[in-house]
Structure formats: C-alpha cells, structure tokens
Amino acid sequence: MQLDDAQLKQFDEEGFIFVPDLFSAEEVAVLKGEIPDIFAQRRPEVIREASGEAVRTAFATHTYNDVYRRFVSHPRILEPAQQLLDGEVYIHQFKLNGKAAFDGEVWQWHQDYGTWQRDDGMPEARAMNLAVFLDEVNEFNGPLYIVPKSHKAGVLEADHDVVTTSYPLWTLDEQTVAGMVERGGIAAPKGPPGSGFFFHGTLVHGSPPNMSPWDRLIVYVTYNRTDNAIRRFKRPEYIAHRDFTPLSALSEDCLLK
C-alpha cells in the first residue's frame, strides 16, 4: 500500500495520518483472538497497571506470537512506513496498549523519540509509529490526545517520571504542553476497530484514564530506519529491540492464512 501525495503532505505538516478501516473486521477478529492468551501470560513483557491486574502494555508480542509476527510485515503498514521514512526499516518497539475499562491509567504528555534518544541512543528522529485500533476508540475510553504540528519543534526538554504509573516515561511539563497546544491545538483520533494511525516520532501526545465501561486496545509498531539503529542498550531487549534486520512485506492476506 502506498500513501498518496495528500497523505504525505499531511504527515509532513501535521505529523500524523489517520486511515479509517485500514484492516477489515475479519482481520481485527484474528488479531483480537490472540489477546486473551497473551494477556494471561506471566512474563516480563506483559506489564500490568500499578493499581491491579489489568494489562497496561504487552511488549514484543511479535517475537513469541505468530499472528503478530505476520502483522508487523503486513504491506498495509510496512510499506507506508518504508515510504515515510524513505528506506529500509526494522522494528524498534512493539506493544499492545490495553487501556482496560474503568482501570486504564493515564499516559502522560510525552514524545516517543525523546525516550528513544535518551534511553536507547537513537541518532535521529527517523523512526515513526503505526497504531491500529483493535477496539472502537471514542471520546470516553481514553483516546490518544495529539498536538498537531508539534513534531516540528524537535526534541523538547523532559523529566523522567518513574513514580506516576507502572511504566517510566520522559514526560513534558505543563508549560511546554500549553505552549504546544496554543500553537497546534489538540486532536483525538477516534474510529472503529481496524482504523490505522501513522504518527511522527516527535509528535507530542498522551492519553487520559479510561473511566468508561469500554476497553480500548491499540497495537503500536515503531519502525526505525536500519541505518538509524540504536547505539545504547540500556533497556531490556523486549522494549528496545536489537535485531536490525530489514523487514520485507508479506502478502495482503497474510493475517487470514
């Protein structure tokens, strides 16, 4: 799948592209069918909320689950990533972010590349995220908040928060976020399961707690150019991958075989 000129322009100017119905209901059912087994596993990759048993994030699922191994090389997500980054890519990070009904906690305002640079020694912001909604995302169940055009500001000053939630994060202060929002506003991509969302590594974003009775599960893949591979191996390999092998696209029906 190739993005058109309008989409490429939007990514450059706004820092993101939203693609409704990127994956079919049948494909989403295959992806969601793996979730109960993955979330039930007691392994270091599966991180639970500080407040209880709800899964906050399941890292590196593509390394031990065949469905997600195929998913990361699906042409509808891999080929746009290669196009946007203008080169061969590998997976820097993979995660299933489960914001469970009533129990899903906040993700503070941050930039992903800020973490990749500080913790992983990634040389440049030549990496990006792909998100696919596995549940409906609405205004009530903790949608991702983004600040359009904030990627143009480069890497912002941040503090390392290791207290607020069960997962440490390089977070932005309120004054910085307010200034970014004043210039770019706030958007919250919402849509049905199967919707896709590509966004720049320095785009400012976060998400509120999920106080609703509806789960909000999103799968995220971080693609990085192979010539931009990380230089520091501070974090566990299941969080910041060491396999820099370039990916090749599989067939369009790879999830349904």
pLDDT in tens, 174-183: 999 999 999 9
Per-residue model confidence (pLDDT) at position 158: 80
Per-residue model confidence (pLDDT) at position 35: 96
**Cα–Cα distance for residue pair 93/167, rounded to 1 Å:** 15
Q: How confident is the model at residue 66 (pLDDT cuts 50, 70, 90)?
A: very high
Per-residue model confidence (pLDDT) at position 179: 93
Instruction: Identify the CATH assignment for 15-224 out of 3.40.640.10, 3.40.228.10, 2.60.120.620, 3.40.50.1010.
Output: 2.60.120.620
Per-residue model confidence (pLDDT) at position 163: 55
201-209 mean pLDDT? 94
Domain regions of the chain by residue span: 15-224
Which amino acid, one-letter code, is at 204?
A: V
Residue with tokens 């109960």, as numbered in its chain: 36
**Cα–Cα distance for residue pair 39/18, rounded to 1 Å:** 27
148-175, pLDDT tens digit by residue?
999 999 998 887 665 555 566 778 899 9
Residue 34 has pLDDT above 80, yes or no: yes
72-98 mean pLDDT? 97
31-36 mean pLDDT? 97
Per-residue model confidence (pLDDT) at position 28: 98
The number of angstroms, rounded, from the C-alpha of 240 to the middle of its chain's C-alpha atoms is: 13
Mean of the per-residue pLDDT values of the chain = 94
212-255, pLDDT tens digit by residue?
999 999 999 999 999 999 999 999 999 999 999 999 999 999 99
18-47 mean pLDDT? 96
Per-residue model confidence (pLDDT) at position 53: 84
42-55, pLDDT tens digit by residue?
999 999 988 778 89
Q: Where are the alpha helices (DSSP H) in the chain?
A: 5-14, 25-33, 35-40, 66-71, 75-85, 112-120, 174-184
Higher pLDDT, 118 or 164: 118
DSSP class of residue 194 equals: T
128 closest CA partner among 157, 89, 160, 180: 89
